[in-house]
Amino acid sequence: MRVLVTGGAGFIGSHFVRQTLGGAYPALADAEVVVLDKLTYAGNQANLDPVADSPRLRFVRGDICDAGVVTDVMRGVDLVVHFAAESHVDRSIAGSADFVLTNVAGTQTLLQAALDAGVTKFVHVSTDEVYGSIEEGSWPEDHVLEPNSPYSASKASSDLIARSFHRTYGLPVCVTRCSNNYGPYQFPEKVIPLFVTNLLDGLQVPLYGDGLNVRDWLHVDDHCHGIALVAESGRAGEIYNIGGGTELTNRELTERLLSAVGVGWEMVRPVEDRKGHDRRYSVDITKISSELGYRPRIDFETGLAETVRWYADNRAWWEPLKNR
């Protein structure tokens, strides 16, 4: 089997690649892995260093919007796992053009190439942010899409294009929608690595608004495990939510991070709330649990402690990124 992983040098994609080549997913045992990554600011080939010597890994630096490159890497591919995306909400608010180009046009380019190449499974990795905000309860997969930021709107658009390629052309596409990820190798613009690395350097951390926005936290290893289950057994044309089962306000998360680093609330700097800031996210994971046997395996307390320890022990990885 040959697997194409787009965005495979990013945070989540590189974890999937490392786990695949490390034998974590029996259905992908002995698979050849082709990584396509543009290596933008959030892509880092060093994320693949632990598996760089694997004879089953091929790395291609390229843009998913480049039809020629995409056509070339798609040859002989059985499975596509599509992580590549512009993904930071704040950046999308500052300028949305790159998000529409990469997330929408890039996804269409990949889907067309996969269709032309006869790919047997295409897993499109999306986000719970496409649903908007929910006051109570949890979103099922058939909930209406109400994205509120340019980022989430671009991802919702890519979801619909992926669905259309299944309905119109019969391409075996599955869409996954995850809650907030955390873990090692996450680019330090995201809240957990940003807060941890700031605190390790004795810097204050910025807390949006009243700090009562709620997110469900999902360890990257659980997310990738869910994606592997969908790649193996997910039904074509279906959407699967992947959640972690730990809902916290941003204030509660901040308190846990302060405690983990051993500092007090004086290290928090309140800042003006983000534009269009969704109040609460919560995904219903009944479908993936009942159909594919998924459950989150890493409890948040353990996962967060291990993540903080990883950043404390790996300054050589994140300091150049923050300095840049």
What number is the average pLDDT over the span 182-197?
Answer: 96
CA-based nearest residue to 241, from 156, 159, 140, 147: 140
Q: What is the pLDDT of residue 94?
A: 76
Split at pLDDT 50, 70, 90, the class of 117 is very high
CA distance 85 to 222: 20
CA distance 240 to 177: 6
Segment 278-321, tens digit of pLDDT: 889 999 999 999 999 999 999 999 999 999 999 999 999 999 99
CA distance 262 to 256: 10
**b/e map 80-96, b = 16+ CB within 10 Å:** bbbbbbbbbbebbbeeb
Split at pLDDT 50, 70, 90, the class of 41 is confident
User: Which residue's entry shows tokens 């269009």?
Assistant: 276
Q: Which strand (E) or helix (H) includes residue 28?
A: none
Asked which of 37-51, 79-93, 233-247, 298-312 is least confident by mean pLDDT, the reply is 79-93
Averaged confidence pLDDT in the chain: 95
CA distance 312 to 300: 18
Q: What is the pLDDT of residue 113?
A: 98
Please give the domain boundaries of the chain with CATH numbers for all domains: 2-184+218-245+279-300 (3.40.50.720), 191-211+247-275+311-323 (3.90.25.10)
Question: Under DSSP, is residue 218 helix (H, G, I), strand (E, B) or coil?
Answer: strand
Q: What is the pLDDT of residue 312?
A: 98
Split at pLDDT 50, 70, 90, the class of 277 is confident
Q: What is the pLDDT of residue 88?
A: 66
State whether the Cα torsion 125-131-132-138 is positive or negative. Answer: negative
What number is the average pLDDT over the span 183-200?
Answer: 96
Length of the chain in terms of residues written: 324
- Residues of the chain above pLDDT 70, percent: 99
What number is the average pLDDT over the span 147-151?
Answer: 90
What number is the average pLDDT over the span 200-218?
Answer: 95
First to last CA, the chain: 38
On whether the CB atoms of residues 7 and 13 are closer than 8 A, the answer is yes
What number is the average pLDDT over the span 210-221?
Answer: 96
Q: Which strand (E) or helix (H) includes residue 121?
A: strand 121-127
The residues carrying an active-site annotation are: 128-129, 151
Pairing between β-strand 214-219 and β-strand 180-182 as defined by DSSP bridges = parallel
What number is the average pLDDT over the span 110-114?
Answer: 98
User: Which residue's entry shows tokens 């534009």?
Assistant: 275
**Strand stretches in 202-318, DSSP E:** 205-208, 214-219, 239-242, 246-249, 268-271
Beta bridge mates, 6: 36, 82
Q: What is the pLDDT of residue 74?
A: 98
Q: Is the pLDDT of residue 45 over 80?
A: yes
User: Which residue's entry shows tokens 């719970």?
Assistant: 128
Global confidence as pTM = 0.95
Segment 75-94, tens digit of pLDDT: 999 999 999 998 667 776 77
- Which residues have CB under 8 Å from 166's CB, separation 6+? 172, 173, 236, 237
Pick the more confident residue, 96 or 190: 190
Q: Is the pLDDT of residue 24 over 70?
A: yes
